[in-house]
Each structure stands twice: as C-alpha cells, then as structure tokens.
C-alpha cells in the first residue's frame, strides 16, 4: 500500500502513479512528495523505472493512471502549450546529454534562453554562456560541436544547458555515469552548490552510491516499479531489506549467481569455430 | 488468425489516429509559425537544405524524363506521319504528370529520407525530449519549418523539373531526331494550355506537404537503435511514394471534374 501524500506536501508531488508500456507495468502505484530546496537521490537497479518516474515529473511521459502536481497545480493533464511555462522552471540533464548535434556548444546553451525571450544584449549572453560553462569546467569550448566532445564533456555541457534558465528544479538523469572520479565529484559539488546558493530542488537518478550519499538529503530506492526504501543516508545504510543492502554494497544476488553456475556457460580464451559446428 | 487480424486492424486504426493528431498539430503550429517572424530563420535554413540543395538532382530527373519520352514516342508518331506533334506529347506529359510526380518521388527519396533519419536520430538520442523539456514545442521547432519549406518549395522544384524536361525533350526531338523546331514549338503551344501547367505545379503543394508530414511523423515515432532509424526511413519513403501516387490519382479526377464543369466544350475536344 503506497503512502498517501497531499498535493501540497512538496514542490512536486506524484500520487498513485502507474505507468504501463505494452501491458507491462513499469511504475506501480507510486506516491511521493519532493520537498522544495532539497536534493533527492533516486537509486535502483537498471530498468526499475527511475528514468520513467523522472520523466513523469516534467510530463515528458503521461501517467497511465495517477496524478502529478507541481506547486500544488495538477500538471499531467495540461496541454503541451500549457506545460511550456511550467517546464521553463525545470532543468533536465539527460543521461546521454541530448545535446543538439547540429548546434555548437554556445548555441546549445543559449537554446532555452532564445526560445523564451528575444536576445538584445549579446554581450551579456556571451558572458552568461562563459559563466555557465566555467561552472562545469568547459569554458573555451563554445564553438565546438557536440560530436567533437567526449561523453563526459557532453554531459557537462548538458548540465550547463540545464542551468541556463536558472531553474527552480533540476532533474539529473545519471549525471556522474561515464565520468572520471574527480569530474564526478565536481558534479556532486556543483549539485550541492546549486542547492546551497540558489535553493534549487534537485532530483537525481543515479547508480553511484557514493554520489547518492554525498548529495542526497533523501534517498529513494525503486525496485520493480515500487518504492522499497525512502529516507536519509543513515536510514538507507541500515535498511533491513536485502535488495537494498545488495544494491548499496554492489553485491550480486543469489539468483544471478545461480544463473552463472547453472547456465552451462563455458568460456574459452579464443573464438573457436568448432564450438558452433 | 482472427485475433491477429483484429490486432493488426486495431493497430492500424490507432496509428492512423496518431498520424491525424500529429498532422493536426503540425498544421496548427505551421500556421502559428507563419505569423511569427522569429520563426523565419528556421524556415530559411530548411528552405536552403530542402529546396536549394535539391535543385540539381531535380533538374537531372526532369531532363531525363523529357529525353526518354522523345526517344520512346518518336517511332509511334513517325509511323503515322505525326512526328512534328511530338512536342505536344512530351510537353503535356512532362508538365501535367511526369515532371511533378517524378520530382516529388525524387524529393521523397532525397529530402524525406534525410528528414526521417535526422528526426529519428534526434528522437533516439532524446534530443526531441530535450527540446520539449525546455518548454519548446518540438512540433513547432522541428516539424513546422520542415513542413513549410517542403510546402513552399516543391512547386518551385517542379518548375525546374518541367523546364529541364521540356528542354531535354526539345534537345532529343529537334537536334537528334531532326524535327522542325518551329513546328515542334507551334504544336506544343497549341496542345499545352496554362491549365495543364498550373495543375502540375499546384500538385507540388500537396506532394511537398505529404512528404514532409509522413517523413517527420516517421522520424518522431521511430523505434530505438540504428535498425529503428533505418526502418523508419524505409517506411517514410514507401509511405510518401504511395501517397504521392494516390494523391496524383485523386488530383487527376478532381481536376478533370473541375475542368469539365467550367470548360465543358474544351474538355470534349
């Protein structure tokens, strides 16, 4: 039974959220309230519905049933046009960056600004782009195209684009995946800095427990479309659920081990065509 | 068996509904874009990619259509001693049917394939979701400029195809087959009316609109992965091709009805 939440319990509230894809239930009756100004880390194994849940918060996915509220207003039923002013209050950092590959880094960052206002003072915009890129350590790359950047660099530029409109809520989809440990920590520090200085509400989907402990005021664990743990870092560390303990310690489950033992997999050092004859 | 047929039927009805909704939104957003000068730069960019860059290939298509018509039709007409009327046959076929249809088919391959591949790749790499997440309507930002560019420029491209088709036909008929130039043009002028030329060019709006709409829809709904993008491109081309042929047929019936209503005597001649 999902915990009951009120639409005013947080800046974003989801109530009894169910999402089905081709008859498969990906999210099963999820009710959550995200508190304003706090950072929430959503953890869970791959395919458990973390990204799908996050896409519902900005209505990039519509629920099969259930409700989504932003600042007390129901948003999942709004039209695309009605959603536009709400979405400008969000920044979304996509897992693979999702930079527009036909635009330069500079054009990518000014994209959200350009879409919502007429730019007159280009010098101020240049300065803004420089400042946003400096935050993620990418100043000087303004004229590069995304294809010429590494995966990690693309992710950092995507983060700079997500903060271009100074949003109230930033949604990060695996922001540290694919980054080296130092750059991962820079991103963690950046998320903390944005929360401290601008009181930004952050929701971070991650696999990286080090990152989740560091940035998360609250950690939520999803498993098979349900919330199985919800609390601060201490609560999660001492959670009695075996799946939570396996996940946070990165231990393989008994079922997976059994599959490896019994699967009859024979590894040979080299490809041998005779194996397939 | 019955279950499979039912499933397929429901799926095609759902897909038709989705396409109709997509088309409705795209038409609506295109009308809005025309009234907003800040959208013009996007439309100009697409006009260059879709229109200007297609000119050479469309001209080559048109030229070969005209030339092959001359080669193929000459023997039949010469057998009846009517070779000087070759111009009528070539030019009416080019401006009314072959110029517009083959130019549109060429565009479906060149432009439609590129649009689907571009938008499909944007879809699978979440770039379309990124546009949406920043409060911009992806239909307005991505589909409307492409739709308007195709809609506006396909008739112009048909003019190029017609022009080269006429010149190609003339070149083979007069220079190679030695038909009298004066007779060639005189008979052509008698046989080809402004109506024929106009209906051919008018088709361009419908063909262009259909190519853009189908290609963009396939790009927006393509499945993940390289195979998904590839399949979407194929489906977009096949869909556009069949739509062009079907629209051409409908257009022929409607235009004939209009012509015989307004000019009943000429239509009998």
Each residue's pLDDT tens digit, B202-255: 999 999 999 999 999 999 999 888 889 999 999 999 999 999 999 999 999 999
The pLDDT confidence band at residue A264, using thresholds 50, 70 and 90, is: low
Pairwise CB contact (< 8 Å): A118 & B135: no
Token code pair at residue A62? 């519509």
CA-based nearest distance A27→chain B, Å:
20
Choose between B178 and A261: higher pLDDT.
B178
Q: Is A55 in Cβ contact with B135 (below 8 Å)?
A: no
Nearest CA in chain B to A79: B137
- Residue range B54-75: average pLDDT? 92
pLDDT at A255 over 80: no
> For testing the chain B interface, which of A57, A60, A110, A203 should be mutated: the one with the most B CBs within 10 Å?
A60
User: CA of A251 to nearest chain B CA: how many angstroms apart?
Assistant: 31
A13-27, A155-169, A175-189: range with lowest mean pLDDT:
A175-189
> In Å, how far is A86's CA from the nearest CA of chain B?
7
Question: Do B199 and B258 meet the contact criterion of CB atoms below 8 Å apart?
Answer: no
Q: Which of B173, B179, B191, B163 is nearest to B72 (CA)?
A: B173
Contacts of B129 in chain A (CB under 8 A): 55, 60, 94, 98
User: Residue A2 — pLDDT band, cuts 50, 70, 90?
Assistant: low
Domain-located, residue B252: yes
Which residues of B fall within a CB distance of 8 Å from A98? 125-127, 129-130
Q: Which residue has the tokens 């973390």?
A: A50
Classify residue B251 as exposed, middle or buried by CB count within 10 Å of its CB (0-12, 13-18, 19+).
middle
**Nearest residue on chain A to B37, judged by CA atoms?**
A118
Chain-chain contact of B133 with A90 (C-beta, under 8 angstroms):
yes
Nearest chain B residue (CA) to A83: B135
Under an 8 A CB cutoff, do B135 and A115 touch?
yes
Cβ–Cβ < 8 Å for A192, A28: no
- What's the pLDDT band for B80 if we cut at 50, 70, 90? confident
Host H or E run for residue A16? strand A12-21
pLDDT given for residue A178 in this prediction: 77
Instruction: Give whole-number Cα distances, A156 to A96, A109, A110, A159, in Å.
Output: 10, 11, 15, 5
What confidence category does residue A197 fall into, taking pLDDT thresholds of 50, 70 and 90? confident
Contact flag A112-B134 (C-beta cutoff 8 Å): yes
How many domains would you assign to chain B? 1
* Beta-carbon separation of A116 and B130 below 8 A: no
Mean pLDDT of chain A: 86
- Is B160 in contact with B62 (CB distance < 8 Å)? yes
Among A49-58, A259-268, B191-200, the range scoring the smallest mean pLDDT is A259-268
Residues 134-193 of A with CB under 8 A from B: 165
- Inter-chain CB proximity A80 and B137 less than 8 Å: yes
In which band, very low, low, confident or very high, does the pLDDT at A246 lie, cut at 50, 70 and 90?
confident
Q: Does residue A112 surpass a pLDDT of 90?
A: no
Q: Cβ–Cβ of A92/B130 closer than 8 Å?
A: yes
Residue B160 pLDDT exceeds 90:
yes
B149 confidence band (pLDDT: 50, 70, 90): very high
A with B: how many residue pairs have Cβ under 8 Å apart?
Answer: 55
- What residue ranges define each of the domains in chain A, with the CATH number in brackets? 12-89+167-276 (3.40.50.300), 101-166 (no CATH)
* A84 reaches B (C-beta below 8 A): yes
The answer to whether the CB atoms of B126 and A95 lie below 8 A apart is yes
How far CA A167 is from CA of B4, B128, B129, in Å, comes to 48, 20, 17
For B82, the domain range is 14-260
Chain A interface includes B132 (CB < 8 A): yes
Q: Is the pLDDT of residue B87 over 80?
A: yes
Q: Which of B101, B124, B137, B80 is CA-nearest to residue B248?
A: B101
* Average pLDDT of the segment spanning B264-268: 66
Answer yes or no: is B153 within a domain: yes
Residues in chain B: 269
pLDDT given for residue A269 in this prediction: 66
Q: How confident is the model at residue A23 (pLDDT cuts 50, 70, 90)?
A: confident
User: What is the structure's pLDDT at A3?
Assistant: 64
Q: Is residue B210 assigned to a domain?
A: yes
Residues 103-122 of chain B whose Cβ lies under 8 A from any Cβ of chain A: 122
A 56-75 near B (Cβ less than 8 A): 58, 60
Query: What is the least distance, in Å, from the CA of A114 to any CA of chain B?
Result: 10
In a domain, B269, yes or no: no
Whether A86 and chain B come into contact, CB under 8 Å, resolves to yes
The answer to whether A116 contacts B135, with C-beta atoms less than 8 Å apart, is yes
In a domain, B93, yes or no: yes
Supply the pTM of this predicted model. 0.85
Mean pLDDT confidence for A140-156: 89
Q: How far is A112 from chain B (nearest CA, A)?
A: 6
CA proximity to A97, closest of A136, A40, A129: A136
Q: How far apart are CA B151 and CA B186, in angstroms?
A: 34
Q: What is the dihedral of CA B10, B12, B15, B20, to 10 degrees?
A: -110
Residue B8 predicted with pLDDT over 70 = yes
Q: Which residues of B touch A165 (CB under 8 A)?
A: 134
Q: Decide: A223 and A48 in contact? Cβ < 8 Å.
A: yes
pLDDT reported for residue A1: 47
Give A116's contacts in chain B (Cβ within 8 Å).
135
Please say whether the beta carbons of A27 and A48 come within 8 A: no
Asked whether the beta carbons of A144 and A100 are under 8 A apart, the reply is no
Q: Look at residue A130 in the predicted model and tell me its pLDDT.
A: 92
Where helices occur in chain A by DSSP H, the ranges are 50-57, 80-87, 105-116, 122-135, 151-162, 181-198, 209-215, 233-237, 242-249, 254-262
3-state DSSP assignment of residue A26: strand
Q: Do A100 and B127 touch (CB under 8 A)?
A: yes
Is the CB of B38 inside 8 Å of chain A's CB atoms? yes
Mutate to test the interface with B, among A58, A98, A101, A167 (most CBs of B within 10 A): A98
């Amino acid at each position: 039974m999902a915990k009951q939440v009120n639409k005013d319990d947080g800046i974003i509230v989801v109530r009894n959220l169910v999402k089905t894809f081709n008859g498969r239930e990906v999210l099963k009756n999820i009710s959550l309230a995200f508190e304003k100004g706090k950072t929430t880390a959503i953890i869970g194994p791959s395919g458990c519905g973390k990204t799908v849940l996050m896409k519902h918060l900005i209505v990039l996915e519509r629920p099969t049933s259930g409700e989504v509220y932003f600042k007390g207003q129901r948003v999942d039923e709004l039209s695309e046009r009605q959603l536009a002013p709400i979405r400008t209050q969000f920044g979304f950092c996509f897992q693979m960056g999702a930079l527009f590959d036909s635009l330069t880094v500079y054009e990518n960052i000014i994209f959200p600004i350009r879409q919502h206002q007429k730019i007159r003072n280009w010098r101020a915009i240049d300065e803004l782009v420089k400042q946003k890129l400096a935050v993620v350590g990418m100043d000087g790359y303004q004229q590069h195209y995304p294809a010429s950047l590494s995966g990690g660099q693309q992710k950092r530029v995507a983060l700079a684009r997500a903060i271009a409109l100074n949003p109230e809520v930033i949604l990060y989809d695996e922001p540290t995946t694919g980054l080296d440990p130092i750059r991962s920590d820079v991103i963690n520090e950046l998320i903390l800095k944005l929360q401290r200085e601008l009181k930004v509400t952050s929701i971070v989907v991650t696999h990286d427990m080090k990152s989740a402990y560091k940035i998360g005021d609250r950690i939520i664990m999803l498993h098979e479309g349900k919330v199985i743990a919800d609390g601060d870092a201490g609560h999660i560390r001492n959670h009695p659920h075996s799946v939570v303990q396996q996940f946070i310690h990165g231990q393989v489950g008994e079922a997976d081990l059994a599959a490896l033992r019994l699967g009859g997999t024979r590894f040979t050092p080299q490809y041998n065509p005779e194996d397939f004859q | 068996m019955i279950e499979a047929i039912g499933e397929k039927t429901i799926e095609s009805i759902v897909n038709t509904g989705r396409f109709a909704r997509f088309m409705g939104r795209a038409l609506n957003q295109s009308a809005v874009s025309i009234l907003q000068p800040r959208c013009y730069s996007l439309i100009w960019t697409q006009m260059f990619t879709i229109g200007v860059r297609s000119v050479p290939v469309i001209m080559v298509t048109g030229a070969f259509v005209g030339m092959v018509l001359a080669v193929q039709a000459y023997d039949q007409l010469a057998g009846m001693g009517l070779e000087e009327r070759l111009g009528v046959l070539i030019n009416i076929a080019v401006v009314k049917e072959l110029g517009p249809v083959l130019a549109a088919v060429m565009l479906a391959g060149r432009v439609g394939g590129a649009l689907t591949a571009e938008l499909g790749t944007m879809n699978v790499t979440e770039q379309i979701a990124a546009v949406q997440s920043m409060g911009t309507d992806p239909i307005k930002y991505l589909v409307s400029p492409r739709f308007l560019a195709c809609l506006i420029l396909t008739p112009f491209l048909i003019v190029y195809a017609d022009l080269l088709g006429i010149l190609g036909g003339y070149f083979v008929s007069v220079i190679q087959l030695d038909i009298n130039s004066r007779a060639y043009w005189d008979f052509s002028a008698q046989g080809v009316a402004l109506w024929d030329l106009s209906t051919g060019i008018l088709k361009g709006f419908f063909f262009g609109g259909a190519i853009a709409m189908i290609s963009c829809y396939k790009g927006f709904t393509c499945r993940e992965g390289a195979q998904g993008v590839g399949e979407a491109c194929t489906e977009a081309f096949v869909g556009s091709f069949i739509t062009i042929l079907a629209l051409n047929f409908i257009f022929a019936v409607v235009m004939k009805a209009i012509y015989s209503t307004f000019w009943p005597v000429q239509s009998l001649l």
